[in-house]
Amino acid sequence: MDTGPLEGAGPRGCGQTVVFTGSWSVDQRVAVIGLGRFGSSLANELTRRGWDVLGIDTDSTLVQKHSDILTHSAVADCTDPVVMRQLGVGDFPSVVVGIGTDIEASILIASNLLDEHVPNIWAKAISRQHGQILERLGVHHVVLPEHEMGERVAHLVTGRMLDFIEFDDDYALVKTITPTTITGVPLAESAVRTRYGITVVGIKRPGQDFTHATADTVVEKGDVIIVTGKTRAVETFAELS
């Protein structure tokens, strides 16, 4: 996509638009609206990974702070659908709404993106109620970073887990130390699926890289394993000694 709509002066009423021109990659284009801690961290990481990122915020100081890192940046108010169209945001395959504290702005921007039929919309929510509103609007992915990080850290603090990721359908992926109850025999013989309702998908021996686990894999004391299953099942498994 050509960057023409973004070049030059900004739309009327939204201040000056700061833009760094360049060509877009077809599949790796994303617009991030809101360059606070969440939005800027996400935008910078995507840029580091080689994505073409347009960062937008109403705060010119934030835009200037990140303009040297992002592919493109703009000072603009995306609650205005006209401004959003002038920036060409509706042409992006993915857009992230990183605004959390201003719930009204978050909802208005999400509605504008849905009206533009953006195929992949991510939005930050600061509460479950905020998230529910965004979901009811039709936002494809709602993220509650503070809540999700709190849950994740709670799992790490209270158990033997080294990492924990939970999915929407009550399914989790956990990295944990191998309990003695399944060591010394092949996984098929330990019957972890029938006994604990989990599946061991990866294993890491001290000093070695992770490898895929098979039915013939024998885990030993001190091994780190990756297991999947229903959230409660992996929680129970990770508490075994």
With a cut of 90, say whether residue 20 has pLDDT above it. Answer: no
Query: pTM of the predicted model, to two decimals?
Result: 0.65
Across the chain, mean pLDDT equals 85
Residue 175 has pLDDT above 80, yes or no: yes
pLDDT at 155: 67
- Taking alpha carbons only, the member of 132, 155, 131 closest to residue 143 is 131
Question: How high is the pLDDT of residue 54?
Answer: 96
- Please report which confidence band the pLDDT of residue 158 belongs to, taking 50, 70 and 90 as the band edges: low
Q: Is 50 exposed, middle or buried (0-12, 13-18, 19+ CB in 10 A)?
A: exposed
Q: What is the pLDDT of residue 167?
A: 81
Tens-place pLDDT, residues 84-95: 999 999 999 999
